[in-house]
């Protein structure tokens, strides 16, 4: 049989390789790290300090970043300490219930004004000189305002630096960029898929955590891995064997992966995998076993009518979100890869639970999540070793002469009649990985948000669920 020729497609603006010229300036792009035709990628982006510093400005200084969940600051004057890239940020809910994301940096000399992970406070005081701020960021008190400063301080201009905040289904995002598009446009059609986990129930979700740890790996390796199901039968062989023996889960082989009807799709900068579930089975998640399956099946049957009202029939009964990432550093649900230098990442692991789920089901999911993807999780340990080695390989001057190969499935992706985004022909593909690095290029080569393309929202959002829940 004559081998099938690769399908050549015309990519949407968000995904298209824009050549070696900057379309806005007509000058050579600074960053051209991946060849979309061959999948060859420059290893230097995982270890180069100058590139990392530029990422902090052009990616983490521009993108919408997931920083928290509304359940972490449920009441007036609650706060939660988080990060936007390397920058420490205080997520607050002021006395009127409004959310704020405030740079944790006193405007006087730069000391942090919050030193703990969370709490409840109307004011934050810098322990260096006593400058005090309200929890909406405004400067309230300076010792010696008259005696030392001669009443010359402009209080209105000296509040804590504030990021723009928007929410999606309880998840809180923030951006420093004043010219950024709205969060709804940033998520785009990816929300069509994300709703099937984050926006199913009227009661919303609650976040537990985070568990935090450091990994000797570049932050991009773990985002890239979110669409890599090719590694599962190899890297997770021992972990899967344990689960098969003690939890009754079937063994997973390469053949199973290659024949899987699951989908691999890239949407508006975000990487998605999902299952087209035509068997009325509950979504697989950590915690499922032969002993607990009845809990999940009963819950699935009891909640399906509500989910169908909120999401429509197709998404409620057929679409089950799998591994995914939200650009730039949101991983597998509400988990964050926080950069700490080109060779180090601080990982935050939250467990998200549907607020109205039975307590026994919540307990099972919480334990299962920690046992698989927590700091000591069986799968997490396998993954960290992979990410560490990918990062280490990029530090060798000799190894950097030889590029990574992300050629799997080149030319075999395109639009789908039922599903938004660029859908790969097969579940096992590296299309999402290639497009992630092309998206990285777009951010790194743009002078502002005006040079970063976004695809228009085309998906049909059936049901009553909205951006706010």
Position 22 scores a pLDDT of: 45
- For residues 52 and 235, the model is more confident at 52
Domain 65-167's class? mainly beta
Other CB atoms within 10 Å distance of the CB of residue 122? 13
Distance CA 238, CA 384 (A): 15
Average per-residue pLDDT in the chain? 90
Position 246 scores a pLDDT of: 65
- Count CA within 13 A, CB hemisphere, residue 393: 14
Q: Which two tokens stand for residue 331?
A: 């991983």
For residue range 226-256, list pLDDT tens digits in order: 888 888 888 777 777 776 776 666 777 888 8
For residue range 272-289, list pLDDT tens digits in order: 999 988 777 887 677 887
Position 282 scores a pLDDT of: 80
Position 2 scores a pLDDT of: 41
Question: What mean pLDDT is predicted for residues 315-328?
Answer: 94
- Give span(s): CATH 3.90.380.10, the chain: 188-451
Distance CA 248, CA 461 (A): 37
Position 36 scores a pLDDT of: 94
Which of 283-297, 299-313, 395-409, 432-446 has the least mean pLDDT?
Answer: 283-297
Question: What mean pLDDT is predicted for residues 355-366?
Answer: 94
Position 381 scores a pLDDT of: 80
Position 232 scores a pLDDT of: 85
Of the pLDDT bands very low, low, confident and very high (cuts 50, 70, 90), residue 29 is low
- Give span(s): CATH 2.102.10.10, the chain: 65-167
For residue range 151-194, list pLDDT tens digits in order: 999 999 999 999 999 999 999 999 999 999 999 999 999 999 99
Position 369 scores a pLDDT of: 82
208 DSSP β-pair partners: 351
Position 236 scores a pLDDT of: 78
Q: Which two tokens stand for residue 95?
A: 């006395």
Judge whether residue 3 has pLDDT over 60: no
Coil, helix or strand at residue 182: coil
Task: Decide: 256 and 338 in contact? Cβ < 8 Å.
Answer: no
Phi, psi of 410 (to 5 degrees): -60, 130
The secondary element (H helix, E strand) that includes residue 208 is strand 205-215
CATH no., domain 188-451: 3.90.380.10
């Amino acid at each position: 049989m004559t081998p099938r020729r690769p399908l050549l497609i015309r990519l949407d603006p968000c995904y298209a390789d824009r050549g070696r010229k900057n379309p806005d300036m007509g000058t050579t792009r600074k960053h051209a790290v991946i060849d979309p035709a061959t999948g060859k990628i420059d290893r230097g982006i995982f270890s180069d300090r100058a590139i990392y510093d530029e990422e902090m400005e052009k990616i983490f200084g521009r993108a919408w970043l997931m920083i928290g969940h509304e359940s972490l600051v449920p009441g007036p004057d609650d706060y939660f300490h988080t990060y936007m890239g390397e920058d420490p940020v205080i997520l607050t809910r002021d006395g009127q219930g409004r959310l704020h994301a405030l740079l944790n940096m006193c405007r006087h000399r730069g000391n942090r004004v919050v030193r703990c992970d969370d709490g409840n406070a109307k004011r934050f005081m810098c322990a260096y000189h006593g400058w005090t701020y309200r929890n909406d960021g405004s400067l309230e008190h300076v010792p010696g305002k008259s005696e030392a400063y001669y009443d010359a301080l402009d209080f209105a201009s000296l509040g804590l630096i504030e990021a723009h905040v928007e929410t999606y289904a309880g998840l809180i995002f923030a951006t420093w960029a004043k010219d950024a598009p709205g969060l709804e446009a940033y998520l785009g059609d990816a929300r069509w898929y994300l709703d099937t986990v984050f926006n199913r129930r009227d009661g919303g979700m609650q976040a537990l955590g985070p568990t935090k740890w450091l990994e000797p790996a570049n932050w991009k390796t773990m985002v890239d891995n979110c669409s890599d199901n090719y590694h599962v039968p190899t890297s997770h062989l021992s972990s899967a064997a344990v689960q098969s023996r003690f939890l009754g889960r079937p063994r997973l082989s390469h053949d199973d992966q290659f024949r899987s009807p699951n989908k691999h799709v890239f949407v508006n900068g975000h990487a998605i995998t999902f299952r087209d579930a035509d068997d009325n089975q509950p979504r697989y998640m950590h915690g499922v076993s032969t002993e607990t399956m009845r809990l999940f099946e009963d819950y699935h049957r009891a909640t399906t009518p509500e989910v169908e009202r909120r999401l429509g029939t197709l998404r409620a009964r057929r679409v089950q979100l799998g591994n995914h990432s939200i650009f730039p550093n949101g991983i597998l649900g509400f988990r964050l890869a926080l950069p700490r230098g080109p060779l180090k990442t601080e990982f935050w692991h939250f467990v998200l639970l549907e607020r109205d789920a039975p307590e026994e089901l919540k307990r099972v999911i919480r334990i299962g999540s920690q046992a698989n993807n927590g700091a000591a999780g069986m799968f997490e340990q396998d993954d960290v070793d992979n990410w560490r080695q990918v990062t280490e390989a990029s530090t060798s001057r000799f190894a950097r002469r030889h590029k990574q190969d992300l050629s799997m499935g080149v030319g075999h992706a395109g639009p789908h009649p039922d599903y938004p985004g660029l859908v790969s022909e097969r579940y096992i593909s590296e299309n999402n990985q290639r497009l992630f690095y092309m998206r990285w290029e777009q951010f790194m080569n743009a002078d502002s948000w005006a040079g970063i393309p976004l695809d228009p929202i085309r998906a049909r959002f059936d049901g009553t669920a909205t951006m706010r829940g």
